[in-house]
Structure 1
Amino acid sequence: MQSGDYLIPNIVPNQQSNEPLGRMARLHRRWLETKHHGNFTALLMQGILEDTCLEVGHKAEAEIDRLMEKMMKEENVTEELKRQDQMEWVRRVNNIKARAEEIVLDTIVYTL
């Protein structure tokens, strides 16, 4: 659009998803903003930043669930252990979750 001698861009934001960003999506967004500002700006200007972060967040959460299930099976963290010693079960599950999240952060969230 032109105003006098100046061309003014007619920027209209794309329709964004109403779904809030989860933890992993927010971490990916913050990582893009601080470490890859050019990509962050490009995604923002294209109107796909939030959708991209949501997609990464969903992928990360699914991978965490898959890794946790696999690790729990390999380490014999079962409902039987939960019935016998709840505190030990909680300790092991928390440890497994922390390891799964660390793997996902390195392989999915903090990558382009």
Structure 2
Amino acid sequence: MKKHIYDESNGLSYTLHGDYYLPDLAMNEEEPTYGKYGMLRKQFLKMHRPARYQYLLMTGELTAHLNRVDQETREQVETLVKQMVGKQGVDENLKRQDQMRWVRLMNNIKVSAEEIVLKEIIYV
């Protein structure tokens, strides 16, 4: 039996180990660079979409997917915060008059925007 074989139908090479041919798979050793939302997406995929997670991991697309989701989510949260700030009338004038109220409103807006985006992008 040959020690190494190549299967053109799937593009994988195999090495003989005992009586079995095992695929020659290698993990991509690059350090992941995704942020908060990328980590949340990774946890969700591991727990609730294990097949999708394994597919992304095996094809080497996991880090790119997590970076794309992280960037998309950050942009969406930023857009929603700007829209909500405008609709609720939270401005610099309020910040000068009542800082604590401004902080409460801004924190509430940020949490609300994150909650909306997490349900729409991360947890699907």
TM-score (normalised: structure 2):
0.81
Question: What root-mean-square deviation, in Å, do the aligned CA atoms of Structure 1 and Structure 2 show?
Answer: 1.6
Distance change (3 Å), C-alpha of 1:50 and 1:87: same
Alpha-carbon separation, structure 2, partners of 1:73 and 1:34 = 37
2:64 alignment partner in structure 1: 51
2:45 is matched with which residue: 32, 38, 42?
A: 32
Q: Aligned AA for 2:115?
A: E
Would you tell me which structure has more helix in proportion to its own residues?
A: 1
Residue 13 of structure 1: aligned partner: 27
Residue identity opposite 1:88 in structure 2: R
Once the two structures are superposed, residues 28-62 of structure 1 have per-residue CA deviations (whole angstroms, 9 ceiling, x without a partner) of 00000000111111111111111111111110010
When the two structures are aligned, how many residues end up with a matched partner?
A: 110
Identical pairs, percent: 36
Q: Distance in 1 between matches of 2:65 and 2:120?
A: 16
Q: Which 4+ residue blocks in structure 1 deviate beyond 4 angstroms? A: none
User: Could you report, residue by residue, the CA deviation over 1:49-105 in whole angstroms, capped at 9, with x for unpaired residues?
Assistant: 111111111100100000000000110100111111110000000000010000001
Unaligned runs of 5+ in 1: none
Structure 2: runs of 5+ lacking an equivalent = 1-14
Whether 1:103 and 2:116 are equivalent positions in the alignment is yes
| Corresponding position of 2:9 | none
TM-score between the two structures when normalised by the length of structure 1: 0.89
Specify which structure has the bigger relative contact order, considering alpha-carbon pairs within 8 angstroms and separated by 6 or more residues.
1
